[in-house]
Structure 1
Amino acid sequence: MTSQQLESQIRQKKSFLCIGLDVDLDKIPKHLLQSEDPIFEFNKAIIDATHHFCVAYKPNTAFYEAYGIQGWHSLKKTIDYLNEFYPEIFTIADAKRGDIGNTSSMYAKAFFEDLGFDSVTVVPYMGKDSVEPFLAFPDKHTILLALTSNEGAFDFQTKKINEIELYKQVLETSKTWKNSENLMYVVGATKAEYFSEIRKIVPDSFLLVPGVGAQGGNLYDVCKYGLNSQIGLLINSSRGIIYASSAMDFAKKAYEKAKELQSEMEKIVG
C-alpha cells in the first residue's frame, strides 16, 4: 500500500484511527475460549465490528508469540482475513525488529512476504545496515522507533549528544538511508510537546502514535502539533477499544468506542 492510498482512506473514512490487536487470553470474553481458535475469533469479531471507523490494524506480535505456534497461526489467519476482506486497510506488524543486515532481510521477508503485512516497526539502534533491508521492499513501510511513550524513553532518547537530542539525530540520519521515502516513525502520544520539533525534521512522514487513551495521551494535543497537510498521523488505541467489554457484547462495545474516536477525528479531518 502506498502512502497516497493510505491518505485516501483517511479522507474517505474521516479517520486516522489505528486499532491495536493485542490479544490476551486472560482478558478476552470467556465464551470464546471454547472455540478452536479463540485469538482469531476475537480478532475477527473486533475487525468486523470496527473496520468502518479505522484505517489500520496493528497486532503486537508478542501477544501471539507468547502462545507458541498456535499464536503464530492465529496471527497469520488474522492478516489473511484482513487482506482478503478489507484490503484497503493498512496493516502494521508491531514487532520492533532490527538486527545485522542478513537477519533483517529475513525478518523483512517474514513480515512482508510470508505474512503479507504492509509495514513493520523497527528499532534503529543498530543503524543503517539493519534498517535498509526493510526499506528495500516497494510499497511496504518501515516504521522506525523515534520517541516512544514509555517512561524509560528519557533514559536515552532525549539525551543530548553534541547538544542535539538522540531522537532528533535518529530522525535526521534516517532521512539519508536508501529508500527513506518508505519510512514512517513511532512517536508516543504522551510526548505531545515534542511533535512540533519532530515535524521540523520529518514534515511529510506518517507518524504512528501510540499512547492515546489508557496511557494518558491526548488526541487534540497530538493533532495540534503533529498534523500535516496529508494528516500524517495514525493514532493507535488498543485496550480502550478491544477490551471495552469482556462480556458477550464485546464487539458492540468495541464498535461504540471506535465510533467515538472516529467522531472526534472527523471534526479534525473536516
Structure 2
Amino acid sequence: MKRLAAALAVAALAAGCATAPAPATGDAPARVASPADPWENWNRKVYAFNDKVDEAVLRPAAEAYRDVVPQIVRTGVANVLGNVRDVWSAANQFLQGKPADGLEMSARVLVNTTMGLFGLLDWGTELRLDRRSEDFGQTLGVWGVGPGPYVVLPLLGPSSVRDGLAWPVDRMFAPSRLPQTDAGGYGVLAMELLNARSDLLSTTQLLDQVALDRYSFVRDAYLSRRLDQVWDGAPPLEDYDDYGDDEAEPAR
C-alpha cells in the first residue's frame, strides 16, 4: 500500500497531470458540453487540485532535474526505464492478438538489454525496432471494453473509467517493482517521476500558449490520443450521438 500510494505521483505525470488551471469563470469561453464528459463539474475541480500540486512540487523538481543533470545522463535514465516498460508492452501486444508486433517488441528488449547494457543504450531504435508502447487499458479496448466516461483522477490526471481500472495492473509491471527493498523501489519511483515530468515541460509551455480553455484542450487531446492508440493509428470516425452505446465501435 505504501508503494501504491507513492506510485500515484508517477502516474500523474505519465497521464498528463502537468496542466494549467482553467480560466476564471468571468474570462472562460463558452463551454460546449461533451457527451464523453458527464462529470465535468467534478473533473474540473480535481483538475485544479492536480495543477496546484504540480506547480508547488512536481514542476519545480522537474526543472531542477533538467537544469542540473547532464543530458546524457537523463537520456540513459529514460532508456533504462523505457526498456523495462517495453517488456510489458510486448506482453500486451501478445494479449491483443498481435504476435508479429509482440515478437518485434521482444526483440527490441533483447537487443537493448544485451547490446544496450540493460537498456542504457537504445540499439533497438538504431536497428529499426521501434518502440510501440502498449498498456492494459489499450488491451481491454482492443477486446471491446468501452472507455466509459472521461474522469480526472486525483494526482493521476486525465483518464477514463476503463483506463483507471487498468492502471493498477500496469503498475504491477512498472520499473519500481524490480528492486527488492522499499528504498530501492522509492528510488526508482523518483526517477520515473522526474523523467516523466521533465519530458512534459515543453508540453506545458505549449499548452499555456495555445489553449483558451485548458481543461477542454487536455480532455479532448487525451481522448483522441487514447482512441488512436487502441485502433493503432486508424480509428473510425467518432459518432458522438452513439456515445455510450455498446454497439458503437468507436467506444473502443
TM-score (norm 2): 0.30
Higher helix proportion: 2
- The structure number with the bigger radius of gyration is 2
Higher strand proportion: 1
Higher relative contact order (CA 8 A, sep 6+): 2
